[in-house]
Structure 1
Amino acid sequence: MKTNKFIVALVLITFFVVSFITNILGPIFPSLVSDFDISLALAGFLPFSFFAAYGVMSIPAGILVDKYGEKWVIIAAFLMAFSGSLLFALFPTFAMAMLSLFLIGMGMAMLQVAINPLLRVAGGEENFAFYSVSGQLLFGIAGTLSPMVFSYFVSQLNAPAASGFTAVAQSVVPSNMPWLSMYWLFAIMSICMIMLVSKVNLPKVTRNQQESVGTLSIYKHLLSNKQVILFFFAIAAYVGSEQGIANFMSIYLQQAHGIDPLTQGAGVVSQFWLMLTLGCILGLGLVKILDSRVVLIMFSTAAIAALCFALFGSVETALIAFPLTGFFLSVMWSIIFSLALNSVKAHHGSVAGILCTGIIGGGLASPLVGLIIDLTGNLKSGMLVVFILLVYICSIGFWAKPLVANKTIKIFNKRASSVS
């Protein structure tokens, strides 16, 4: 199959934009708490509204793609992201923040469902693994850059001699809410993507069994499968762990160690996403020589240890340990997902839809962490939720029984045979 490099580039850019918009929540979380004067429990519903939309829309997005095609779903997705970003930029209230994040979450879910099969067709099935990893790397790079751009805008908006975008932003962004400039940027990025996609003829996508949406009876059958349910909770545990750490690390560093959340705190969040990206590269190598269940046990145990150091160590230790948790979280999503799909014989597309719906459960972790902190007055106590979730993820390595194990390179057997 001939590779359509322009379409591949368009999909990879979309991965970048999705991550750039999605991963800003951690850096601005302390600002949302202080500027809206809300409790941590109530603030936790902001990421929940995003991930609830993500989970709710995962299965319907597949139906919409089947009916209307990738192009119109991608345009509709960016239109939702544009609407959500613009509404919040114009009306910065807590209620509008909830609605905005819900609309953006729906848009991001639609994009994820549409662009992966499109990447397979445009790049060719033989190149899909390479381009898929490239997309994930761009996803990580965007997650790293987003907090850095946030810090830059905040510092520039407070400077007397602003220029370019920041000069325009000064006229529309309230002086006490410089972080709001990011939502103007998201609106601009979304409208640019709408204009770009509308001019492109996308190839026809024939969905394979892993990408197709199942019937209601198939979902009922799968939901009676104990393994599917356990992996549903596993995805919820991963999302809860990732968001629990990403959203609260900046607040913890601010309140426990006096770190400025707008600059150094945002930098630590950026490092978290960078380390998560770098961890993916190591994980790719490890699953080639070790059973993925062993890798999951190793990385989840290391994540628990890193979080302990982050919470109970000095400020210098915390600044290193929090990003390290991202490094050890890196392989969890892909390993859990692959173990789940390899644990059922058929209907992988429907299983994927059920797993993605588990994102809703993961979104509940943030308000739960915030509620425990509010009730106890102890920042560390709320993170007990994350420890429990990581222990559950670690347990997967012991009880998962995939029908097909990941293929590994038998290094030692090769060496032995070559000697003989």
Structure 2
Amino acid sequence: MGAKRSSTTGWVVTLVGILAAVMIAINMFKVPPTMGLLMEDLGIGPALGGWLMTVPTITGLILALPSGSLTDKFGPKKVGLFAIVSAVVGSLMGAFMPTIELLLVSRFIEGLSFALIGVAVPALISMWFSPEKSGMPMAIWSGWVPIGMLAIFTGANFFIAADDPGTWTNVWWLSTALLVVAAVLFFIFVKAPEGYAPEDAPKVSIIEGMKSPATWLLAVIFAMFAFIMYAVSTFAPTYCMQELGFSIEDSNLYSSLITVGMILGVVIMSPVLNKVVKLKSRLWLLVVSMILTALIAILAFNVPPSMTVAVMLITGIVLQLVPAVVWPIGPVAAVAPMYIGTTFGVIALGRSIGGFGNASIGTLIETSGWGAAIMVLVGIGVIGVVACLALFKFMKEDPAEAATDAPQTEAGAAASDK
């Protein structure tokens, strides 16, 4: 891949790719700010409501490992376009056929987009930017999920009405329109550098790449993190409505502060990881991050009304810590450099598994209350802490040489997407 790269064109491709990913994140997270209306309009409880966020993770679970090879075979532009079109199809299904059964099917289809775009855009960035110059674009890319969440948590209020449950479909139509625009821009502006040939990439064995215990421990850690993150972010608006007595509009507004905190977390962790470069130090940073994540559910679901703003911001910052540390540790966990992509695929598998937490937490909230949900989330966090500690046994290599090779890129990789 020795093609000459244009930094200007590369930035255009990168920003359009990130914009498309943000639109897909908006589509993925349109359920939490409309959850109250969905439950009332469709006659469902928190358990079924939680499945609307859990079902897309099933798709991600299926695609986590093969997504990298699909991108290698067809190229990131084709995979990215397919991702956006999948989101459009799913969103249209939900808007035209608003029943819980068809809505669940549509969410499965939408899960294709979320799984694939998370591979396609980093691949595009890698095409256009050499490792030593990819720090900033990767850092910007890392914020695609919280930016999308913030946009839909705040923007949904302009399209729904608390006294008209059926207005949740307005958000589906909004998402569809944004995705169509993203698809057009992606088709026009996204391209590979001149002379780039996907077939030049080395062929690797996925099975061989999965023979690293550290890789699987990172997947467990990310699964436990994702379980907590999805549960807290999905049910924060519902908690604000049911326990704090806020209106749906205020609940969505306060919950959006979680995503503001997550963006702050990206800003905070990038310079931290630029300084903390030794493997052992990063592993301890991961342990501390997972402990804080384990405790955050206690804070997020025990909010004094007067402290809602501060608690939501702190929650968001904490929920950004684990992924910020996991991604730069990932390459060291790989069997060999050529299997770094496989390692990231296994970590993505953990993220998808963690997404199943929504359904179980929704059931617990419905049957046993918020206290039971908190206990389960803390227990999940403890498992994550144990997995973090286990990494010390399997990761003893000194990454100092690798760390000093590209200090700029680590800041970008550190906060790479969840």
Q: Measure how far apart 1:387 and its partner are.
A: 1.2
Alignment of structure 1 residues 346-365 onto 2, 5 Å: 346=336, 347-365=339-357
> Which residue number corresponds to residue 253 of structure 2?
267
Q: CA deviation at 1:397?
A: 4.2
Aligned twin of 2:186 = 197
Aligned residue for 2:168?
179
How many angstroms does 1:57 deviate by?
1.7
1:68-107 residue pairs with structure 2 within 5 A? 68-107=74-113
Q: 1:390 to 1:206 in 2, by over 3 A?
A: farther
| 1:228 aligned partner | 215
Q: Which moved more, 1:332-341 or 1:365-374?
A: 332-341
Q: 1:229 to 1:300 in 2, by over 3 A?
A: closer
**What amino acid maps onto 2:301 in structure 1?**
L
Distance in 1, matches of 2:398 and 2:98, equals 50
Separation in 1 of the partners of 2:202 and 2:245? 50
Q: Which residue identity does 1:239 align to in structure 2? A: A
Specify the alignment match of 1:344 in structure 2. 334
Equivalent in the alignment of 2:154 = 148
Q: Give 1:41-56 correspondences, 5 Å limit.
A: 41-56=47-62
- Report if aligned partners of 2:73, 2:198 keep a CA contact under 8 Å in 1: no
- The alignment status of 1:253 with 2:245, answered yes or no, reads no
After superposition, the C-alpha distances for 1:298-344 in whole angstroms (9 at most, x for unaligned) are 33333444432333352223453233211111121132233343123
CA 140–404 in structure 1, closer or farther in 2 if over 3 Å, else same: farther
Q: Give yes or no for contact 1:71–1:202 (8 Å, CA) kept in 2.
A: yes
Mean CA deviation greater in 226-235 or 85-94: 226-235
After superposition, give the CA deviation of every residue in 1:120-158 in whole Å (9 maximum; x if it has no partner): 222343321110101223543332121111012225x98
Structure 1 CA distance, aligned partners of 2:203 and 2:311? 41
CA distance in 1, matches of 2:90, 2:173: 10
Report how many residues are paired.
385
Residues 212, 334 of structure 2: 8 Å contact kept: no
Counterpart for residue 279 of structure 1 = 265
Q: Is the 8 A contact 2:12 2:189 kept in 1?
A: no
Alpha-carbon spacing, 1:396–1:208, altered in 2? closer, same or farther (3 Å): farther
Give the aligned partner of residue 409 of structure 2.
none
Where does 1:115-194 land on structure 2 (aligned, <5 Å)? 115-155=121-161, 175-194=164-183
- Alpha-carbon distance in 1 for matches of 2:355, 2:145: 20
1:2 aligns with 2:6: yes
Corresponding residue number in structure 1 for 2:383? 392
Residue 255 of structure 1 aligns with an amino acid whose one-letter code is Q
Q: Deviations over 1:204-252 (max 9, x none)?
A: 556799x977435425xx2x54333322221211111110101111112
Counterpart Cα distance in 1 of 2:244 and 2:202: 49
**1:76/1:107 contact within 8 Å kept:** yes
Contact 1:306 1:321 in 2 (8 A): no
Structure having the higher Rg: 1
CA distance in 2, matches of 1:107, 1:89: 17
User: Secondary structure of the residue that 1:345 maps to in structure 2?
Assistant: coil
Describe the shift of the 1:28–1:206 C-alpha distance in structure 2 as closer, same or farther (beyond 3 A).
farther
Give the match for residue 230 of structure 2: 243
Q: Show the 5 A alignment for 1:2-21.
A: 2-3=6-7, 4=9, 5-21=11-27
The answer to whether the Cα contact below 8 Å between 1:147 and 1:270 also exists between their aligned partners in 2 is yes
8 Å contact kept, 1:311–1:318 = no
Is residue 2:362 matched to residue 1:370? yes
Return closer, same or farther for 1:132/1:240 CA change in 2, 3 Å cut-off. same
Is the Cα contact below 8 Å between 1:307 and 1:321 reproduced in 2?
Answer: no
Contact 1:141–1:277 (Cα < 8 Å) also in 2: yes
- Give the structure 2 partner of residue 412 of structure 1: none
CA distance in 2, matches of 1:237, 1:79: 30
The 3-state SS of whatever aligns with 1:352 is: helix
TM-score normalised per structure 2 = 0.84
Contact 1:39 1:374 in 2 (8 A): yes
The change in CA–CA distance for 1:326 and 1:380 in structure 2 (over 3 A counts) is same
Residue 413 of structure 2 corresponds to none
Alignment-derived partner of residue 285 in structure 2? 295
Identity of aligned residues (%): 16
User: Which 5+ residue runs of structure 1 have no aligned equivalent?
Assistant: 159-174, 409-420
Alignment of 1:295-334 (within 5 A): 295-334=285-324
Shift of 1:35: 2.3
1:41 deviates by 2.3
Q: Secondary structure at the match of 1:24?
A: coil
User: AA paired with 2:271?
Assistant: G
Contact 2:20–2:84 (CA under 8 A) maintained in structure 1? no
Contact in 2 for aligned 1:244/1:383 (Cα 8 Å): no
CA distance 1:233–1:176, shift in 2 (3 Å): same
CA distance in 1, matches of 2:308, 2:214: 36
TM-score scaled by length of structure 1: 0.83
The one-letter code of the counterpart of 2:181 is C
- Counterpart CA distance in 2 for 1:183 and 1:113 is 24
Residues 145 and 29 of structure 1: CA distance in aligned 2, closer, same or farther (over 3 Å): same
Q: Given that residues 85 and 183 in structure 1 are in contact (C-alpha distance below 8 angstroms), is that contact kept between their aligned partners in structure 2?
A: yes
Q: Name the stretch that deviates more: 286-295 or 112-121.
A: 286-295
